[in-house]
Structure 1
Amino acid sequence: MSVPPNSSTRPVVSGRALCVDLDGTLLNSDILYESVLALLARNPLYVFLLPLWLLRGKAALKRELASRVSLPAETLPYNPQVLELLRTTTQRPRVLCTASDALLVQPIAEHLGLFEQVIASDGKRNLSGRNKADVLVETFGQGNFDYAGNGSVDLHVWDKAGGAWVVNNGSALAKAAAQRTTVHAHWPAPSRGGAWLKALRLHQWLKNLLVFVPLLTAHRFLDLESVVQSTIALVAFGLCASGVYVLNDLLDLTPDRQHPRKRKRPFAAGRLPLLQGLLVAPALTIAGLLLSLACSVEFTFVLLAYYVMTLAYSLRLKRIVMIDVVLLAALYTVRIIGGAVAIGVELSFWLLAFSIFIFLSLALLKRYTELHAMLSSGKTKASGRAYSVEDLSMLQSMGAAAGYIAVMVMALYINSPESVELYRNPKLLWLVCPVLLYWVSRVWIVAHRGEMHDDPIVFAATDRVSQIVVVLCGLFALSAI
């Protein structure tokens, strides 16, 4: 049989049941992985129980998960084409038939209000493949139902079905389905290349430019070996950071879907399979750690510490008031420490102190911006965070104060013996201070007006005024050498 064009559908037999799969078909996600990630986000120690539940079978595993988590049906990423198919099909029974557990499926069906019947796994029988085909034949009779599915396991169902919709898969599966039944339509998965670039957050690698700070402050930017080592350190940090970003997005699916911007992230929006994310995250981390060995074992330990801190932040600490912002500031500072270790220079006390306070200011700015956006949208508490809108004024005060303290540290450094050793005209560094005072004040005013990007680093990288500030500070520093 030939496969019809992607955008067309063939007439279907009136009265024949329309059975629709959930995972990967009606839903651009997978309930099993969604529930696993939701459970681990709540308590990572459940990872030790998952294999024990699986030993009792997939159906038992799904029931154990379903009894412990709930997934907000209103925010899940549905396939608009399948939804339209269901909405325009009103003259015959519509059945949600899935291998996911009934405890999680029923609320989805009730939310959509498009189904006359739900058939799902019950904790004893995993309703997938041949099991699903047998149940549908027993319920409707062979050939007396159409089925919309997305995977090779659905070929067992199409063997018994009167018609098929092939969703989120390639032409090979559509042709295999066409050899078994009439294919009404084939809706392939969209290209995922751009989604992966967005998921890896390559623009966030800008933060890893901090590894070059020790290279610049030690005046070793003309030393080729040091430049190469710093570049390796940047890529190693980038790989580990991308691995953490993927993992963080997987663990934050529910709160991300409730956020006006983060809901567009690839995993939250259902543009990338969760299983692929679970495989890519550790692969990127391992690649980063292996690359770090090209610098030194000491640098590898710094990178490993960064990863552990980031993992702790993602799993638990980002939900604890003030611990989250202190840790965010520390993660920025660790990049600078890593840059110093990579080129074998001792990190200055002054640079360390300046880094801690300026990054604490940026971390508080990030939380302030998130809360301000929540307030503007009529909410009183940020999802997945421990802050409420009542904390706005306090966060603003602490953030601005931390920024000004960083400038004060810079001013004290100018008159220190260390600056005299590195700069011929250290007094020219005083020109940096008013520029930094202006920038700190400006970003907090912009945030107060609700015009700040929810990632201050992205704002600083794209804001023309911030770019001019960086250039001016660089010129003043060079003139002092």
Structure 2
Amino acid sequence: MNMTAAVEKTVASDRPLVLDADGTLLRTDMLLECFWAGLGTRPLDTLGAVARHWRDRARLKAELAKIAPLRVDLLPVEPEVLALSDAARAAGRPVALASASDMSLVGLLAAHHGMDRAFASDGRINLKSGAKAAALVETYGEGGFDYAGNAPADMAVWSRGAGAIVVGDRRSAGRLRSAGRPVTEIAGGWTPRDLLRAMRPHQWVKNMLLILPVIAAHEFGLATLLLVLMGMAAFSAAASCIYLVNDLLDLEADRLHAKKCKRPFASGAVPIGVGMAATLLLGALALGAGAALGPAFLGVVALYMTLSLAYSLKLKRMRWIDIATLAALYTLRVVAGAAASGVDVSVFMLIFIFPVFITLGCVKRLTELTLATSDAPLPGRGYGRPDRPDLLNVSILGMVGALLIFFLYSFTDQGRALYPDQWILWVALVPIAWWLFRMVRLGWYGKQDYDPIVFALKDKRGVGLLLITLSLMFYAAGLWGEWFGAWF
């Protein structure tokens, strides 16, 4: 049934219209919203409340609502259900909200949408299924109300009401029709495509950093490359796991953002429960693949996930610490490539790439600040537009430091052994410097992506400079002659 027909059918009745909140009026669940909001602001209190009251749902909901009150005006709604409510109120019908969530939230939500009454859990009674049905029958009488719900648990309510409005639950709608009940269906639901979008597969390109140790050591055997590819898959799963966690922790902040409000969890396109299940699955895949590649790689993956989680919870809000953490997370990818392939990573290589990533971390913040519309600190960050000069200075220091370390590496025993034509290695400094300067310049003028690594791998001119650098390094190592013989 389309939305217009559903509205006309509902308005035609004169019975009170009662709406469930979680999954019906709302495209989210307020208990899970409180849980993730609490984890982001008061994690110890939140986990303590779950540990103490996980068997007592009514008490748990009340405690979490106190720890992390929600802005109900930001919660995503199901437009068709809201249209039913608005049409019923316009026709003079009483409209009530009946939810198993805590009254402190349900009352605010009902008031925000202009509803006449709210039924909810009160810290002692969990108003779900039979308890909800009993409360509504006590108020409106047997068969004295129409009810909108979204789950099999609502069958107890539909069976004692009159008209049934079913959101995204075809099986329950079929059962009700078989029993001869009048049913209005609203599609609701979510799609795997939206979940994939939340996993940000476009960010997986950053895991190409795992191949750097193989390139630096000139180990291009098929077995080695297959191990690195498996490592990339593990890191992709780990990264997506943390992206999902980050989005769940930032629900309210994302809803206040002009673009991030369209993210799958913030917009309600994907239920929080689905996101939590996907997070566990991706984490298990990452650690399972890590274990298959050996204890060293497993340790790096576990450290990456732990540090990423700490970044999401706290470190990204701390000035300069956030940039150092970003650089460390990028560097861990390189270490992971060495651990997966069994290639020894040079200490000089790690010392070289860390200031490169410091520069790129500063570029990320420069881009955000340049595109900001005011001098106020960025939401959830410790920087404002007045910090741009300091970020520029640190990015330049990182660039100079990286170039100096690269130059000094050419004089080491390992550098001379791997790159006999030392002067060509010095020539490679030119495109490296040009690339780094280009990245800083584009960040300063706000002309690149919010993620510099993703931007770098899509920037044609920048990729050209990196390929020139790589070609010169291969020439300095004598690899072109080894591969193509007389041509070189």
Q: Give TM-score, length-normalised by structure 1.
A: 0.92
Partner Cα separation in structure 2 for residue 94 and residue 105 of structure 1: 14
Match of 1:64 in 2: 63
Corresponding residue of 1:432: 428
Q: 1:358 Cα deviation (Å)? A: 0.9
Superimposed CA distance per residue, residues 145-183 of structure 1 (whole angstroms, 9 cap, x where no aligned partner): 1111111111111112221221133x2222123345654
Distance in 1 (alpha carbons) for counterparts of 2:460 and 2:182: 54
Aligned partner of 1:63: which letter?
A
How many residues align? The count is: 472
User: How big is the shift at 1:219?
Assistant: 0.2
Render the CA deviation track for 1:376-435: whole Å, top value 9, x for unaligned: 2x4712222233333233223212332332233223323443322112323223333222
- The structural deviation recorded for 1:86 is 2.0
SS state at 2:348 partner: helix
Aligned counterparts of 2:280 and 2:296: Cα–Cα separation in 1:
21
Counterpart residue number, 2:308:
310
DSSP-derived class of the 1:412 partner: helix
- More displaced, 346-355 or 22-31? 346-355
Question: 1:444 is matched with which residue: 436, 440, 445?
Answer: 440
Match of 1:344 in 2: 342
Question: Structure 1 residue runs of 4+, over 6 Å off?
Answer: none
The aligned amino acid for 1:478 is: F
Matched ranges for 1:336-375 at <5 A: 336-373=334-371, 375=372
| Distance in 2 (alpha carbons) for counterparts of 1:310 and 1:288 | 14
Deviation at 1:5, TM superposition (A): 5.9
Match of 1:153 in 2: 153
Per-residue CA shift, 1:232-251, capped at 9, x if unaligned? 21112122222122122211
Q: 1:32 to 1:211 in 2, by over 3 A?
A: same
Partner residue of 2:87?
A: 88
Distance 1:54 1:335 in 2: 38
- Percent identity over the alignment is 35
TM-aligned CA distance change 1:218 to 1:26, over 3 Å? same
- Indicate yes or no: 2:404 matched with 1:403: no
Q: What is the DSSP-based 3-state SS (H/G/I as helix, E as strand, rest coil) of the residue aligned with 2:266?
A: coil
TM-score of the superposition, structure 2-length normalised? 0.91
Q: Which residue of 2 aligns with 1:51?
A: 51
Q: Which consecutive residues of structure 2, in runs of 5 or more, have no partner in the other structure?
A: 478-488
Q: What is the deviation of 1:6?
A: 7.2
Q: Following TM superposition, by how much is the alpha carbon of 1:67 offset from its aligned partner in structure 2, in angstroms?
A: 1.3
In 1, Cα distance between equivalents of 2:385 and 2:122? 42
Confirm or deny that 1:137 pairs with 2:137: yes
Aligned to 2:483: none
1:419 aligns with 2:415: yes
What code does the residue aligned with 1:277 have? G
SS in 2 for 1:267: helix
Whole-Å Cα distance in 2 between the matches of residues 368 and 452 of structure 1? Answer: 10
Q: Partner residue of 2:165?
A: 165
Q: Distance in 2 between matches of 1:290 and 1:480?
A: 39
User: CA contact under 8 A between 1:155 and 1:176: conserved in structure 2?
Assistant: no
Q: Matches of 1:178 and 1:426 in 2, distance apart?
A: 81
Q: Does 1:386 align with 2:382?
A: yes
Instruction: For 2:375 and 2:51, locate their aligned partners in 1 and report how far apart those are by CA, in whole Å.
Output: 39
- Kept after mapping to 1: 8 A contact 2:16/2:146: yes
Write the distance in 2 (CA, Å) between the matches of 1:469 and 1:97.
61
Residue type of the alignment partner of 1:8? A
Residue in 1 that maps onto 2:99: 98
More helix by share: 2
1:215-254 alignment, distance < 5 Å: 215-221=214-220, 223-254=221-252
Give the structure 2 partner of residue 293 of structure 1. 291
Letter in 1 for 2:15: R
**Match of residue 254 from structure 2:** 256
In structure 2, C-alpha distance between the alignment counterparts of 1:326 and 1:243, rounded to whole Å: 21
2:117 is matched with which residue? Answer: 117
Task: State the secondary structure of the residue aligned to 1:451.
Answer: coil
Are residues 190 and 97 of structure 1, via their aligned partners in 2, closer, same or farther at CA, if it must alter by over 3 Å?
closer
CA distance in 2, matches of 1:258, 1:372: 19
Cα deviation, residue 32, structure 1: 0.3
Q: Pairwise CA RMSD of aligned residues?
A: 2.1
